[in-house]
Amino acid sequence: MNVCELSSWEGFETKVKRLLADWQGKRGGPRLLFRGQSNSGWQLKTTLERYAPDSLKASKYYQVIHDAKYQIESLTDRSWNIPTPKEYNRWLSRQDFIRGFAKLNDAYAYIIHLRHHGFPSPLLDWSQSPYVAAFFAFNNATISDKVSIYAHIERVRKGPSGSSNAPRIHGLGPTVRSHARHVLQQSEYTICFKRSDNQWSYACHEDAFCKGDSEQDVIWKFNIPTAERMKVLRVLDRFNLNAFSLFGSEENLMETVALRFFHLNRR
């Protein structure tokens, strides 16, 4: 992981422009994804890792979300046509985790829907936009000295290498019909997985990034002082990047209007 300590928001913008020019200047080149965290001391962990670290086995997690589906469908008046746990486990037994995940079809959309509504998820969410990532980094940054914005490129070379038991990161791509926030936030997702004892399990992204494997993923971590918060939120709001535009609820409208009148527009 490449860690860069910055003193200002402008320094971050300069770094990002350089990264975009260097890595996305050629047609068909790798795409950068971005993620913001409001505390530079936090690791890259999914909500599932933080909420239920004992439920990281892929088959166990799928059983949970399949069982929860009926209550969620009853209360949301929506339905998801997803494979049974038996079907899913049959795919996993073929030792092809990614193909098994892709075959979930509507279940991928279902898992994204759960993720956007606070259900523990093995998905780590990213944005195609560094400015969306910056909003998530700075919006609730009040207790730490620095925030972090990550830039990530998957598989610089032809693919992951090393032991099949080592943690591997895989991007799932943006092409899925799901919650509106998925589009508003220009979202993409990654999963980290490993195989041990003939079982697929979700793993920590940090473990994969720290392997030092030049043929796997490349990631940069930009630490920016939290003192830049109001300046950054003011800049983003001028481009209509705020809680309301990214989430769309009435509660987020109130949050955005309050921020403008109490802080951003103060003379």
Q: Could you report the per-residue pLDDT of 111-124, keeping only the tens digit for each?
A: 888 988 899 999 99
Instruction: Write out pLDDT tens, residues 151-191.
Output: 998 765 444 444 557 888 888 877 677 677 778 888 889 99
Could you tell me if residue 248 is inside a domain? no
pLDDT band at residue 106 under the 50/70/90 scheme: confident
Average pLDDT over residues 11-30: 80
Task: With a cut of 90, say whether residue 98 has pLDDT above it.
Answer: no
Domain boundaries, position 183: 2-226
Could you tell me if residue 36 is inside a domain? yes
CA distance linking residue 161 with residue 211, whole number of Å: 11
Neighbours of 177 (CB within 10 A): 10
The DSSP annotation for 134-193 comes to: HHHHHTT--SSSEEEEEEEES-SSSS--S-TTS-EEEE--S-----HHHHHTTEEEEEEE
Phi and psi for 171 in degrees, rounded to 5?
-85, 140
Say if CB 109 and CB 176 are below 8 A apart: yes
CA distance linking residue 112 with residue 105, whole number of Å: 12
Could you tell me if residue 85 is inside a domain? yes
Could you tell me if residue 264 is inside a domain? no
CA distance linking residue 88 with residue 82, whole number of Å: 9
Neighbours of 242 (CB within 10 A): 22
Residue 161: what pLDDT?
42
Task: With a cut of 70, say whether residue 65 has pLDDT above it.
Answer: yes
pLDDT band at residue 216 under the 50/70/90 scheme: low
Task: With a cut of 80, say whether residue 267 has pLDDT above it.
Answer: no
Residue with tokens 């409208």: 253
In degrees, rounded to 5, the angle at the alpha carbon of residue 100 between the alpha carbons of residues 97 and 105 is 140
| Low-confidence winner among 53-67, 121-135, 160-174 (lowest mean pLDDT) | 160-174
Could you tell me if residue 63 is inside a domain? yes
Number of compact structural domains in the chain: 1
CA distance linking residue 90 with residue 257, whole number of Å: 50
CA distance linking residue 86 with residue 89, whole number of Å: 5
Could you tell me if residue 265 is inside a domain? no
Could you tell me if residue 261 is inside a domain? no
From residue 99, alpha-carbon distances to 88, 93, 114 in Å are: 11, 11, 21
Q: The pTM is what?
A: 0.88
Residue 164: what pLDDT?
59
Higher pLDDT residue, 96 or 152?
A: 152
Could you tell me if residue 267 is inside a domain? no
